[in-house]
Amino acid sequence: MREYRTDALPVEERRQDPAALTSCRRPIPTDQVHPLPAPRVQDAHDTPGMNGQRTALITGITGQDGSYLAEFLLENGYEVWGMMRRASTENVERIAHLADRITLVQGDLLDQLSLIRVLEEARPNEVYNFAAQSFVPTSWRQPVLTAEFTAVGVTRMLEAVRAVDPSIRFYQASSSEMFGQAAETPQSETTPFHPRSPYGVAKVYAHFATLNYRESYGLFAVSGILFNHESPRRGIEFVTRKISDGVARIKLGLSTELRLGNLDAKRDWGFAGEYVVATWLMLQQDEPRDYVIATGVQHSVRDFVEAAFEHVGLDPDPYVVIDPDLIRPAEVDELVGDASRGRGELGWEPRISFRELVEMMVDSDLGRLSTGLPASARAGEASA
């Protein structure tokens, strides 16, 4: 096991000049500067590429997790390739500051041949599969498409890995939504799955497909069961970002209400920039194994709302409106993770607290709206 560091920047450093928080060749926009752990890779677990660097392929690189992981891997000397779907308009806002340091290729989880071609071109040592239709409400409106991308698409990628180079290490982004109506609290790697949405069902399929390819074909294929992880790069349609954006708009006089659904739903929220380090650590182990990644601390949507309004000095009661149309057909009432295995075997620990996360997101949206920058594009749409 190689040596690494996972110490995030102190919270107070987030308030410094953004230029001091990045070593990228081009300045990162203010709304994209957030503390990231900074390990340094010592030894490679496999043979590096022809240029002497380790190579990683990230599907869904334009999303929240993909962009943070790309930054992290670049800082550790990787050659980074990103897979994107062909689209009439390409959303690269989150990785625009990395444009001269990464290679983007077109591929589609619906197209087996395109996945094989991407792997043959990139020749990665590691594949991180973040691509999916990942917005739960959309999965109710488009359940079949969600299954094609989020479930069957993973099987296509695993088949491509097996065909091109079975030595590739593969990471699958599983989700705490797989637990759904959980049989126990907190949830760990051994907790039975009971998904409560088409998205959760698709993720369970993908999770077991990854396990099956590991056991049947000997692939180094792992799943990270990440509980809710947020950041200022979260898509504007997700409830946490909807809250931070809405509170910022109200504070600046740009809006008079914040429409939400179930305020009593409880989740385990952490900072996405820290969680992607855990995904990397999973592929550095001697043996493939699945891990729950979570803070182990539970908060309600109401807690998030109150912390956000408190940060800007406002009372939420005059502004929050409960919209019945935003209630899920089958609600997941509460989720909280037990990351004991990850803490013990990976040495991973979350450092950004819930309140620090909320304040980080609100501050970012206040800064963005004050300068007239557009909101981050929709992160939940399938991006590969």
Q: Is 98 helix (H, G, I), strand (E, B) or coil?
A: helix
Q: Is 176 helix (H, G, I), strand (E, B) or coil?
A: helix
Structure tokens at 81: 């390739």
Strand partners, 345: none
Please confirm, yes or no, whether 67 is among the known catalytic residues. no
Residue tagged active-site, from 78, 128, 199, 205: 199
| Three-class DSSP labels, 284-337 | CCCCCCCEEECCCCCEEHHHHHHHHHHHCCCCCCCCEEECHHHCCCCCCCECCE
Residue type at 190 in one-letter notation: T
Residue tagged active-site, from 79, 93, 177, 359: 177
How many Å apart are CA 300 and CA 267, to the nearest integer?
Answer: 6
* Beta carbons of 69 and 355 less than 8 angstroms apart: no
Please confirm, yes or no, whether 334 is among the known catalytic residues. no
Residue tagged active-site, from 67, 175, 231, 383: 175
Please confirm, yes or no, whether 139 is among the known catalytic residues. no
Question: Looking at residue 375, what DSSP letter applies?
Answer: P
How many Å apart are CA 82 and CA 250, to the nearest integer?
Answer: 37
Burial class (CB in 10 A: 0-12, 13-18, 19+), 3: exposed
Q: How many CB atoms within 10 Å of residue 333?
A: 12
Beta strands 258-260; 299-300: pairing state: unpaired
Structure tokens at 323: 């919209």
Q: Is 240 helix (H, G, I), strand (E, B) or coil?
A: helix
Active site amino acids: 175, 177, 199
